[in-house]
Amino acid sequence: MQRIGEAPLIFVEEDFLAEEDCAALIRLMGDGDFIRPNALFYSSDHCGYCAEFSPEVHPLLAALAQRLQALVDIHPAVPLTLRFRYYEPGEGHPAHRDTYPDGEATLALSMLLALADTEEGGETHFPLARPEPLSIAPRRGRLTTWWSLHADGQEDPSSLHSGLEVKSGFKAVMLAFFYLTKEQVREGVGRSETPYPPSSPQHRNPVE
């Protein structure tokens, strides 16, 4: 993974998932006979279509969860949910931070995997990122990972982000959310704090 800014702690990895695997996940997410009995919830509104799953309900989801956990070195015992989102032209997601509580844990680490190329629009936009705002385009297989908390467990203001409106084509992504205790956040952020290389041009510009 390549770190792409000073703050928030945010990383991008290209070609994390092969084209055929991305296509298989899109087909699975379009199968109503699978969705209805297995989704924890599903909905459709101005923010597009959304469905959430526990990874163990299908081998494709279990394999994806395992790969994501291994990439960020999060213990498999940490609860993980997978959320599929699908946006059509005119749809997007308003600005927010991924810091929702769940008992003693907090949503601290988010991973967004693009399953298809979006023709225009649909970028994940971090307006408060430093040293400059970041917009990361949805490109098939591209994985974007970011921390929404500092190592002390406090919310990182720079993690504010939105899903910009899709202009043409569609946007299909799979998100993984890690709810962590303060100790797990401290350990995870500590491992993630690699130096940011401002001398490299690819780290100063939005990811196309």
- pLDDT category, 199, cuts 50, 70, 90? low
Residue-wise pLDDT tens digits, 120-171: 999 999 999 999 999 999 999 999 999 999 999 999 999 999 999 999 999 9
What's this model's pTM, rounded to 2 decimal places? Answer: 0.92
Domains of the chain: 2-190 (2.60.120.620)
- Beta-strand ranges (E) seen in 115-170 are 120-121, 124-126, 134-136, 143-147, 161-163, 166-168
The string of pLDDT tens digits covering residues 33-87 is 999 999 999 999 888 999 999 999 999 999 999 999 989 887 766 778 899 999 9
Band (pLDDT 50/70/90 cuts) for residue 203 is very low
Give me 138's structure tokens: 């949805």
